[in-house]
Amino acid sequence: MRLSQYFLPLLRENPSEAQIVSHRLMLRAGMIRQSSAGIYSWLPLGLRVLKRVEAIVREEQDRSGAQEILMPTLQPAELWRESGRYDDYGKEMLRITDRHEREMLYGPTNEEQVTAIVRDAIKSYRDLPKNLYHIQWKFRDEVRPRFGVMRGREFLMKDAYSFDLDAAGAKRAYNKMFFAYLRTFARMGLRAIPMRAETGPIGGDLSHEFIILAETGESEVFCERAWLETDILAEEVDYDADLEPRFRHWTRHYAATGDVHDPAKCPVPADRLVTARGIEVGQIFYFGTKYSRPMGAVVAGPGGEEIALEMGSYGVGVSRLVAALIEANHDDNGIIWPESVAPFRLGLINLRPADAKCREAADTLYARLAGAGVSVLYDDREESPGAKFAAMDLIGLPDQVIIGPRGVAAGTVELKRRRTGERQDLPVDALVARMTAEFPS
RNA sequence: CGGGGCGUGGCGCAGUCUGGUAGCGCACCUGCUUUGGGAGCAGGAUGUCGGAGGUUCGAAUCCUCUCGCCCCGACCA
């Protein structure tokens, strides 16, 4: 993509309303624009990141055996009356009346919707277990949206729902999601710590929140220091195996959200306990028959008996993750994208577009890289060098390739790593070879 | 929902107290010069001062109502 043609409205100054670094950088880097309180448009650069985050979430859900569906944003109030939550949910639920005076709502979550689907379609224990997920926009009419897309009213969320015959099966489903989440966040380079959490309005008795430690986090959390020294999960997970031993291993260190943590009962001595703030990027719940019973989601068991489905739900804040990634990956100059979610693999800077040799060298390299399947953002604008460097650092692509008169004369280009600032001059062929090897299409 | 703050050109702000016909920096347009870390000079364009009503000869400025946004707290799969 040529930057001269790209819609990338950068801001040189911090918008006054943005208080935390991810919000400031998302606005300055032209990723998002606010529409109204807690509601945002995603511009090309931001949407690219959102899609890449979504893709990783999807791949890991699929890998774990969950199946993707897509449920609507608008739901009938009737469904929520069945579970009893229509009145309980309060003003956070956006209620809408259609032209026929039917009560509708913009879904803040989808337990009722998915339970109704499964209830109507699955009648036998033979059809279990099932885990269905979708990635869909949600709306929660927060009293006070803030921090950009970190706590918006409208947000993109992956929510999965598991259906099992008994509690043991539900725990197996829970464990699968537990590891799918560890892998999902690890692939983004995030250390997300699973912490014991309250179940809140979802109900139930087992829940973990996946928390990224950050000063700008909204909630206070507590964990054993060992968590900070543990490598994030990188290895494969066999989802057909019994994951319980591995689950115990990965929960052996104490970690709890502020709601659950009780200093008097904490098993970890103070010198090994870390008190920090955290960003919740995912939460998993086991809640048994809380929805299946009132909604009549039952199957016939082996003996013909009626069995209420054992359920769990599993959420990942996809749009929030984009902000969380920035909170975890930035410096004074801007964003530093992990390669797995970067909007482009590298930025190609032509320092002298007016110079015929530089232009030819840059155009040629751009064509070669694009032809090799490397995603490149090519800054071919007439701007001063400093402005180009600043813009490229701000948007945070993992690598920068700089073409200027010096290198062109010597037959080299300069490669700069955004994260380390490390620079080296390379022959063009070597650069192309390295890029295609590091990031094969 | 309690408390506080802010709405003036795309962004950041001054001007409001003390009413007199809107200004600065950046960004934008044109030209020339520049070109390895947000260039310089010259010229230019851009505003229903959030909205409505009122007071006044005259309102960004005073009064009333209203809308929106932000911050702290409470709230929060």
Q: How far apart are CA A112 and CA A353, in angstroms?
A: 58
Structure tokens at A346: 């590298």
Structural domain contains residue A10: no
Based on the structure, what is the number of domains in chain A?
2
Q: How far apart are CA A108 and CA A105, in angstroms?
A: 9
Q: How far apart are CA A96 and CA A124, in angstroms?
A: 36
Residue with tokens 């007016």: A354
pLDDT digit string, tens, across residues A251-302? 999 999 998 898 888 999 999 999 999 999 999 999 999 999 999 999 999 9
Same domain, A233 and A298: yes
Same domain, A291 and A190: yes
Q: Which nucleotide is nearest to A199 (CA to C1')?
A: B77
Identify the pLDDT of residue A313. Answer: 96
DSSP letter, residue A232? P
Å: A35 CA to B48 C1': 22
Which residues lie below 8 Å from residue A383, measured CB to CB, with a gap of 6+? A391
State yes or no: pLDDT of A321 exceeds 80. Answer: yes
Q: Which of A334, A367, A396 is the last residue of a domain?
A: A334
pLDDT digit string, tens, across residues A53-68? 999 999 999 999 999 9
Å: A400 CA to B37 C1': 14
Identify the pLDDT of residue A204. Answer: 63
Å: A76 CA to B38 C1': 52
Q: Which residue has the higher pLDDT, A87 or A388?
A: A388
State yes or no: pLDDT of A441 exceeds 60. Answer: no
Å: A432 CA to B77 C1': 45
Q: Transcribe A129-183 into DSSP letters.
A: -EEEEEEEEEE---SS-BTGGGB-SEEEEEEEEEEESSHHHHHHHHHHHHHHHHH
* Domain CATH for A177: 3.30.930.10
Structure tokens at A140: 């929660």
Same domain, A109 and A146: yes
Same domain, A117 and A149: yes
CB A14 within 8 A of CB A24: yes
Structural domain contains residue A219: yes
Q: How far apart are CA A346 and CA A319, in angstroms?
A: 23
Å: A221 CA to B26 C1': 41
Q: Which nucleotides of B are covered by protein (CB under 7 A)?
A: 1-2, 11-13, 25-27, 34-39, 68-77
Structural domain contains residue A73: yes
Q: Which nucleotide is nearest to A391 (CA to C1')?
A: B38
Identify the pLDDT of residue A201. Answer: 59
Query: What average pLDDT is seen over chain A?
Result: 94
Identify the pLDDT of residue A135. Answer: 98
Structural domain contains residue A27: yes
Q: Which of A334, A354, A379 is the last residue of a domain?
A: A334
Work out the angle between the directed axes of helices A356-371 and A428-438 (0-180°, nearest 10).
30
Q: How far apart are CA A147 and CA A324, in angstroms?
A: 11
Q: How confident is the model at residue A190 (pLDDT cuts 50, 70, 90)?
A: very high
Same domain, A239 and A155: yes
Same domain, A88 and A165: yes
Same domain, A263 and A398: no
Please tell me the least confidently modeled range out of A32-41, A159-168, A191-200, A397-406. Answer: A191-200
Identify the pLDDT of residue A202. Answer: 57
Distance of CA A43 to the CA centre of its chain: 17
* Domain CATH for A371: 3.40.50.800
In A65-166, which residue ranges form alpha helices assigned H by DSSP?
A: 77-83, 85-88, 111-121
Q: Which of A334, A363, A392 is the last residue of a domain?
A: A334
ipTM of the complex: 0.94
The residue range of the domain holding A38 is 21-334
Q: How far apart are CA A120 and CA A289, in angstroms?
A: 16
Give the number of other CB atoms < 10 A from CB of residue A290.
23
Q: Which nucleotide is nearest to A27 (CA to C1')?
A: B11
Same domain, A286 and A370: no
Å: A145 CA to B30 C1': 44
Percent of chain A with pLDDT over 90: 88
Structure tokens at A430: 């070597």
Identify the pLDDT of residue A439. Answer: 61
Same domain, A221 and A366: no
Same domain, A60 and A99: yes
Structural domain contains residue A289: yes
Same domain, A86 and A189: yes
pLDDT digit string, tens, across residues A357-394? 999 999 999 999 999 999 999 999 999 999 999 999 99
Structural domain contains residue A350: yes
Same domain, A121 and A214: yes
Identify the pLDDT of residue A200. Answer: 65
Q: Which nucleotide is nearest to A384 (CA to C1')?
A: B35
CB A31 within 8 A of CB A9: no
Structural domain contains residue A77: yes
Average pLDDT on A147-171 reads 96
Structure tokens at A28: 């300055």
Structural domain contains residue A340: no
pLDDT digit string, tens, across residues A199-222? 765 556 799 999 999 988 888 999
Full-model pTM: 0.97
| Count, residues in chain A | 441
CB A37 within 8 A of CB A144: no
